[in-house]
Amino acid sequence: MERLPDGCRAKADKGYQGLDKQVSLVTVVNAAGEQQQVPRLTLETPFKKPKGGELTEEQVAFNRLLSSIRVRVEHCIGWVKNWRIISTRFRCAHQIYTLVMQVVCGLVNLQTQRWQNAKALATS
């Protein structure tokens, strides 16, 4: 968490519930030039069903929306892991690991964009 910029927003699964309550407030300058206190991290997590109760329709809709975003992220992580250099023990110099990861992620992003463009052309 220390590497995240101040005022960062994140969408996460239920495993991260309560994490946003553990972060401190930071002072930032807004667009109008005024200083304000904001949480260092704002975390959006799904709503849990209360014991013996049910979620509201709005909460169910929010959980679905959050889930639809997260599933795409999980798929991208899986596509990165399809590359053998990432999925197996890294046997090269550790100084270049970040560069290798950036290259693989760039290739995955490129492939994802190609799929999205092809899908858009097929539907039009």
Q: How high is the mean pLDDT of the chain?
A: 86
pLDDT of 1 over the 70 cut: no
pLDDT band for 124, please (50, 70, 90 cuts).
confident
Query: What is the reported pLDDT for 18?
Result: 79
Pick 81 or 29 by higher pLDDT. 81
Stretch 75-104: mean pLDDT, rounded? 88
Q: Residue 84's pLDDT band (boundaries 50, 70, 90)? A: confident
pLDDT by residue (tens digit) across 2-59?
A: 777 777 888 888 888 877 778 788 787 878 888 888 887 888 889 888 899 999 999 9
Question: In whole angstroms, how far apart are CA 45 and each of 17, 25, 57, 81?
Answer: 6, 19, 16, 25
Assign 3-class secondary structure to the chain: CCCCCCCEEEECCHHHCCHHHHCCEEEEECCCCCEEEEECEEEECCCCCCCCCCCCHHHHHHHHHHHHHHHHHHHHHHHHHCCHHHHCCCCCCHHHHHHHHHHHHHHHHHHHHHHHHHHHHHHC
What is the predicted pLDDT for the residue at 12? 84
Instruction: Read off the pTM.
Output: 0.65
Domain boundaries defined on the chain: 8-44, 57-123
